[in-house]
Amino acid sequence: MRYRLVILDAGFTLLAPRSTLGEALRGVLGEHGHDITDEQVRQAWEVADRWFWDDYHRPQNDTWGDDAKIDAAWRQYHSLMLGELGVEDPGHRLIEAILAAQYAPESWELYPDVLPAIRELRKLGMRLGIASDWGSNLFPIVDALGLATQLDFVIASGAVGLSKPDPAFFRLAATRAGVPQGEALMVGDSYRADIEGAASAGMDGILIRRPEWRERREAVPPEAKVIASLAELPEIVRSS
């Protein structure tokens, strides 16, 4: 086998929100007396999501290497949604409630294929870790889901001052695992951040496209290796 290390992204690779952003937003607004429709949420989400991905893929974006900047980005995201909905937020009480729900460990769950894939990869002798563009609040989420004990390391970009697609971020993951970069495989859901970033550090990459994220606003070249489930990963590693 070619690989000794598999590096995994967190959000929408391993972790799924228990409620969609729209459902969570409607819940918070409902608690504060604002009744909004699914269509209103969809339109607001389109505006905020477009801003998010344009900003995330912005050249020299340094947001994701700093906890405070990550928090500010999410505040801007949710402020855009509230603005589109015509909901005023004096004192930012709504934003605080939305973020509290978003950051809470109980708001997240593992995809069903995660633990079976990890067990199979361990049988193959793989070292495993998370390297994600996420704030330091990733750690309690991973702990609460029982995932930390299954991994060799967890790297959150906001905690280390580095983020994707900086090759130094990926080199840090290989260093944490004690494995040469050329023997590492990155698996994530962003082509630019995960796959191109890994390539810049001398690593292979596999893009995961879960069904709910097939419409992500990102060009993916036809030659990219794409999987729909982590269940495909052990055989890929085994035959490498």
Burial of 15 (C-beta count, 10 Å sphere; 0-12/13-18/19+)? buried
Top-ranked range on mean pLDDT: pick from 20-24, 26-30, 131-135, 218-222: 131-135
Tell me the C-alpha distance between 170 and 149, whole Å. 21
Residue 169 predicted with pLDDT over 70: yes
pLDDT of residue 216: 61
Least confident of 30-34, 128-132, 194-198, 227-231: 30-34
pLDDT of residue 220: 87
Residue 129 predicted with pLDDT over 80: yes
Least confident of 40-49, 68-77, 110-119: 40-49
pLDDT of residue 59: 86
* Mean local confidence (pLDDT), 55-84: 93
* Mean local confidence (pLDDT), 134-158: 97
* Mean local confidence (pLDDT), 35-42: 88
Residue 215 predicted with pLDDT over 80: no
| pTM for the model | 0.93
Task: Write out the H or E segment, with its range, that includes residue 33.
Answer: none
Q: Rounded to the nearest 5°, which phi and psi values hold at 103?
A: -85, -15
pLDDT of residue 24: 81
Alpha-carbon dihedral 165, 113, 101, 62, rounded to 10 degrees = 0
* Mean local confidence (pLDDT), 98-123: 95
pLDDT of residue 214: 54
Within a 10 A sphere around the Cβ of 235, how many other Cβ atoms? 11
Identify which has the larger pLDDT, 177 or 38: 177
